[in-house]
Amino acid sequence: MNQMTAGPLVAETLEQGVLTLTLGRAPAHPLSREMIGALHDAILRAGQAEDVRVIVIHGPGRIFCAGHDLKEIARHRADADEGRAYVEDLFQACSQMMLDITQSPKPTIAMVEGIATAAGLQMVAACDLAYASADATFCLPGVQNGGFCTTPAVAVSRAIGRKAVMEMALTGAVYEANWALAAGLINQILPSDQLPQHVHDLATTLATRVPGPVSKGKQTLHQHLDLPLREAYDLATPVMVDHFMDPARRRFDWNA
């Protein structure tokens, strides 16, 4: 059996306004309680850092992220409450981290080389954008382990259609990158040797955008998706006005 390697839980690299968060504990990069804490802290700090414009989450190798650390959960079955307090804390912390990935004022991008499964897939779906290699696969395997991927399905259901997410959750099957692209789970499939450069180029381009309108625009988009059409326009219109009044945007004005 492969052993997870030591090293930092989350490695941080900042270049040209792009913060790359590389998950540790290869090969599975599991979302242990400690990993969730480290990743969540990095996401929150990046959201407030003026020199960070874009966040890339990368789980290198054949496993992007295997989801929660089931061995860690199993160890807590020996607790007096059979692990209830632990799993309550674990899933509350994970849900808040996923929410903060989606609601980060900075664009978030998942770079997926291998399998993204359970909460690992939840993280891909929570990001604003996702790019995958042709070898990447995607799975909600809870039913295979006697459960159901209920919290991962929250993020996934907001990225793909109802029938598609229900199929994933009920079958626990592994889906290839072409299926994920057609379903809307990822933005594009790249050859493995081109994926890092593509994500780098895209992220550095996004990092040149004016941060105020991007941040407010992201927030408003998420809000209006759940509103009726008229209410969505009523919400979005004053925000659009503010974009044009943002001092940093005025350099884009054209001469009359």
Question: How large a percentage of the chain has pLDDT more than 70?
Answer: 95
Side-chain-side CA neighbours of 227 within 13 Å: the count stands at 13
Q: Any idea which residue has 């969505």 for tokens?
A: 232
Q: What is the pLDDT of residue 3?
A: 45
**Which pLDDT score is estimated for 254?**
56
| Alpha-carbon span 35 to 249, nearest angstrom | 38
Q: Report the pLDDT value the prediction gives residue 229, as an integer from 0 to 100.
A: 83
- 19: helix, coil or strand? strand
Q: Quick one: pLDDT at residue 243?
A: 81
41-80 burial, b if ≥16 CB within 10 A, otherwise e?
ebbeebbeeeebbbbbbbbbeebbbbbbbeebeeebeeee
The b-or-e profile of 210-230 (16+ CB within 10 A means b, else e) is bbbbbebbbebeeebeeeeee
Distance of CA 186 to the CA centre of its chain: 11
The residue ranges of the chain whose pLDDT is under 50 are: 1-3, 255-256
Digit-coded pLDDT (tens) for 146-203: 889 999 999 999 999 999 999 999 999 999 999 999 999 999 999 999 999 999 999 9
User: % helix / strand / coil in the chain, to the nearest 5?
Assistant: 50, 20, 30
Tokens of 103: 């609601």
* pLDDT for the residue numbered 246: 81
